Structure 1
Amino acid sequence: MSKFTRRQWLTLIVISIADFCNAICVSLQAPFYPQEAHKKGCSATEYGLVFGIFEFVVFLISPIYGQHLNKLGPKLMFNGGIYTTGICAILFGLLDKVEGHYPFIILSFVIRITEALGNAAFLTASFALIAKEFPQNVATTFASLETFFGLGLIVGPTVGGALYQVGGYTLPFAVMGSALFMSAILTAIVLPTHEDEEDREAIPSMLNALKIPGILLSAISIIVTSMSIGFLQATLEAHLRSFYLQPVILGLMFIINGGVYAIVAPGFGWLCDKCISPKVVTIIGTVLVAAGFCLIGPAPFIPVETQLWLTMLGLVLHGLGMAAQLVASFTDALRTSITHGFPNNLETFGLISGLWTSTFALGAFIGPSISGILFDFIGFRNSTMFVVVLHLFVGVLVTIFLCLAKTRSAYVEIKDEKDLDNSSYVKSLQQNSVTESMNSICSLANGISIEKSRPAGMNSLIACNSYKSQAWPKKEASSLTVGPYSYSYGAVNHRNGSATPNSYLQGVA
């Protein structure tokens, strides 16, 4: 971070402020909206759907935002999403003025759906901006933003409850909605503008992206992690009811895993950027979540009764695990998409951002629904095994993938020809190319270089071609699809069709 430019620091600061305020507005109504809805004659099913519809709309709309991010512009989508969320938060605070059961619940759905549209736009654009502005530190900066978002989710219900006691139902929404609106004005002034890229390549759809096994595994990891979060939100209070905890203590139980997540997420981001593969971090996360849920219950095979300290330890492990999985999954999906030929530009960032937001929302929608059903039929301790088995299964899948996948070149971002010239990685490729060219010569008499792995006809073409000195093995050039350069038979070319100067790619004639 010491090497960040002024522009990068300002971008990180304003997005962090917006993330924090947005998370507060999204989680604000949890402590007191159900009570207000009950006064209006709404059932638990009805106001429960008001919460659930939010995640479902985010799941549906995020891929669309991701596909059109470059056309609309990330800054426009980012600010539009914040404005929409802030206005909807203020309007949600006026629902207590609505009389009648059906007008109240219908307006609740309309406002909540509109708020979800804004929130999805904000999240998709923010993740894409991070990938664009911090190409060398995607995981670290993404994790830092998630820290502020996690803190907002923790602070939201607390601040909301305090303001509710002071000024009633409307005050918390008016205060925090206005704060989010002000942060949107700040981002409109400070946030950099990214011009639409004229020579855009055709971006595959999200469905095509999910056909890549590495991206599919990342998406599955996000879904199951989000499901584990929703699982506890719906059933943890009922599980702890036998302890007769005071409301303050019960509220603290709900923020243990979120607090741990907010603290350790940057650390896992640093590991993904600097030390180990994101998929290894994902495996670590699945084990931690599974271990945490074994203690929260505790699991049926652990011969002890439910104990508060054991539940708290399990929540700590869950916070560690979900931080590892969520941070690693976004980073891994982005890197995998680029190494499989997706262009290293804003459209790809938008596609992966939309994928992350959509899959997380899907898990947040499924998790509470399944946990409620399992809790009613088999109880909390037995139902936790569903989460344990699911995460261990994902961990096994990722482990098998790592064992069977072919070794790929490291993730390299090449921005311009100057970077390419100075890249030690390219210099090493140059040396390897020279070595392989020497080894492939089997007849000096006729001057023909023969490579066994290449078709005979191609050997003749290369031998007679004046550009044969630019021979670049395709298997070594795969990583150069990252950035503005791509490979073709016999040479490394710029995407606009102009040949790259071969002074640094000179082989052996």
Structure 2
Amino acid sequence: MSHVDGHSRAQHLDVDDTTRRWSFGCLCGALLLVNATFTLLSPIFPQEAERRHVSPSMVGLVFSIYSFASVAASPLLGRMVQLGYIKRRSLLLVGLLVVCISTAMFGFVSEIDHQQLFTAACLILRAVMGLGCAAVDTASMALSAALYGGTPFLGTAMGIQESVLSIGWVVGPVVGGYAAQLAGFGAPFFITAALAFACYPALFCLMPRGKEQEAHEEAVEEIAVGRLLKAPQFFLLLISAMLGAAIITALDPTLGPHLEDILGYGPGTIGIAFAVIAGVYAAFTPFAGLLGDYIGRLQVMSIGLLISAASYLLIGPIPLLRPLLGPQMYWLVWVALGGVGIGAGMTFVPSLPALLHAAHTLGFEQEGIDDLVSGILMGSYHSGGGGGPLVGGAAKHLLGFPWSGVLFAAILGVQGVVIAILAGVMPPEPKYEGDAPAKLAPITEGVPVTDMEASMPDLPPAPGTGASGAPFLERVSSSAAAAAPGLADPTRPITLRRSSSFGARPGSGAGSFGGRSLGRSLSRASLLGSYQDLSNRGVRDEGSNRGVREPLLPSEE
């Protein structure tokens, strides 16, 4: 794989703030409704399946196949977007349409009395829902990265998006239960499909169509996905994202019976317990994104994993603590449930920016790397979401709930320490502190010399000088000063716009300020003797397609 030298070519949307906010709001609305379909059938489907004598294991498969379909589809869809086979906007709209149709059709499965046909229809429709959800999730994450990439708000936007997604999980069972109680089995599916389809015109009109907004029209460089996945830092971050989903879903088949057997809670209280996890998760995820923007994404992920580990020890609680806790065990369980929500949010929300930064530090700077990473991340996320209940149920069967909590706590704690170590050895992420005045150093001071430039012979000495090429450098400096008064004064502050390239490596072209680019370009002109050509064409910022336009140098007479 060949690398793209000079700068990251990840594309970002050049839109005004109003369009950005409306587009992001519509994305969040679609995400809420699409992910509500994941939990919509929780309070009503098992009873409907039981009336047709469908086994509990098959009912569990109907629930899990949604996540497994998303696991299989997400990396492939991200790859297709990255290679330009499908556009981000198109993927979003097609995925939303697929979810709407399959959700509405699921409302009719109650009309099927034959057991095998009923089971087959449910499995197929749930798998199609999972495919549509994978398309919407992958496209929305890539579009959000494009909307807010290169701004200080990417982590915050991802936190808001994840919060909306979790609200969909909370709303799904409520809508499913009450709508089915009032109007029958199909009502929640018809209502959700209609609301999701209502978002379609808004997304169609609001999502910009420009070249930068779409998937890449031109052929892009092949990215060695295998090498990306084999990189230890990237793989460890994917494991953390997977655990971020499994932290919550591992409790789905085990928490209810545990609370009923140990604490004597009824179904209503158990439902509130699940709502506490999802509600705290939804409330805290925006703060997790904001915190990651300020103290570092890996640090936040490490803290989240450690909080989750401590919470799993207390939910049981572990047998060693029970005699010590006594009556306090009851309220401590509720604190631990809130800790699970906080830890899961802190673990998953910073994942996408952290993975993009890891990819850039590894030299993956091709166009579409953000699309590919989004697809890989969603595949990892759905792997954790689908595998969590299976592993949680098996661990409880073998060890019992308290000791299965100890096992999960050990896994989460070890991963938290590993991510903390990784945060110490990886290059620091770029910190965005807004547009600040910058001072332009003297043109010939501190400009790095490239290998090509160092290999060029010295310029012949000019008459009356002993230094090779010195008068030429002076002419370049004086010409630049004549073209733009104030640039020659190194103490005069000028305001330069920050590059839009997200996750640029320090020292690369991406994220370079216009002043540094000007100095580098003038150094190249002085060494290669191409001053006349630069005078005719001018010098542009190499690091950003939206950087400061630098002054044209006057032609030398």
TM-score range, shorter chain: 0.7 to 0.9
Higher mean alpha-carbon deviation, 186-195 vs 142-151, is at: 186-195
Q: CA 1:433/1:234 → structure 2, altered by over 3 Å: closer, same or farther?
A: farther
The residue that corresponds to 1:253 in the other structure is: 273
Match for 2:456 among 454, 461, 482? 461
The residue that corresponds to 1:187 in the other structure is: 203
The residue that corresponds to 2:232 in the other structure is: 213
Deviations 1:41-76 (A, max 9, x none): 210111111111111111111111101124311111
2:34 pairs with 1:22: yes
Q: CA 1:44/1:462 → structure 2, altered by over 3 Å: closer, same or farther?
A: farther
Instruction: Find the structure with the greater CA-based Rg.
Output: 2
* Whole-Å separation in 2 of the counterparts to 1:320 and 1:211: 30
Helix, strand or coil at the partner of 1:255:
helix
Match for 1:277 among 296, 317, 328? 296
2:415 pairs with 1:358: no
* Whole-Å separation in 2 of the counterparts to 1:158 and 1:344: 44
* Whole-Å separation in 2 of the counterparts to 1:196 and 1:23: 24
The residue that corresponds to 2:251 in the other structure is: 232
Identity percentage of aligned residues: 24
2:507 pairs with 1:478: yes
* Whole-Å separation in 2 of the counterparts to 1:432 and 1:276: 35
2:64 pairs with 1:52: yes
The alpha carbon displacement at 1:458 in A equals: 7.8
Size of the aligned set, in residue pairs, is 467
Match for 1:109 among 123, 130, 142? 123
The alpha carbon displacement at 1:483 in A equals: 8.5
* Whole-Å separation in 1 of the counterparts to 2:366 and 2:392: 39
* Whole-Å separation in 2 of the counterparts to 1:23 and 1:398: 29
Q: CA 1:72/1:246 → structure 2, altered by over 3 Å: closer, same or farther?
A: same
* Whole-Å separation in 1 of the counterparts to 2:48 and 2:172: 18
The residue that corresponds to 2:154 in the other structure is: 138
Conserved in 1, the CA contact under 8 Å of 2:244 and 2:345? Answer: no
Conserved in 2, the CA contact under 8 Å of 1:339 and 1:478? Answer: no
Helix, strand or coil at the partner of 1:342:
coil
The residue that corresponds to 2:485 in the other structure is: none
Conserved in 2, the CA contact under 8 Å of 1:206 and 1:355? Answer: no
Match for 1:267 among 283, 287, 290? 287
1:355-434 equivalent positions in 2, closer than 5 A = 355-405=376-426, 407-408=427-428, 410=430, 434=445
Name stretches of at least 5 consecutive residues in structure 2 with no aligned partner. 1-14, 461-468, 477-503, 525-536, 542-549
Alignment RMSD (CA, Å): 3.5
* Whole-Å separation in 1 of the counterparts to 2:350 and 2:429: 18
* Whole-Å separation in 2 of the counterparts to 1:476 and 1:86: 41
Specify the code of the residue in structure 1 equivalent to 2:247.
S
Higher mean alpha-carbon deviation, 328-337 vs 209-218, is at: 209-218
Helix, strand or coil at the partner of 2:42:
coil
Name stretches of at least 5 consecutive residues in structure 1 with no aligned partner. 414-418, 438-450
Match for 2:318 among 294, 299, 304? 299
The residue that corresponds to 2:132 in the other structure is: 118
Q: If the length of structure 2 is used for normalisation, what is the TM-score?
A: 0.76
Specify the code of the residue in structure 1 equivalent to 2:109.
L
2:344 pairs with 1:332: no
Deviations 1:128-152 (A, max 9, x none): 0001011112111111111111111
Helix, strand or coil at the partner of 1:234:
coil
Q: CA 1:477/1:298 → structure 2, altered by over 3 Å: closer, same or farther?
A: closer
Q: CA 1:178/1:238 → structure 2, altered by over 3 Å: closer, same or farther?
A: same
Helix, strand or coil at the partner of 1:478:
coil
- Larger helix percent: 1
The alpha carbon displacement at 1:342 in A equals: 3.0
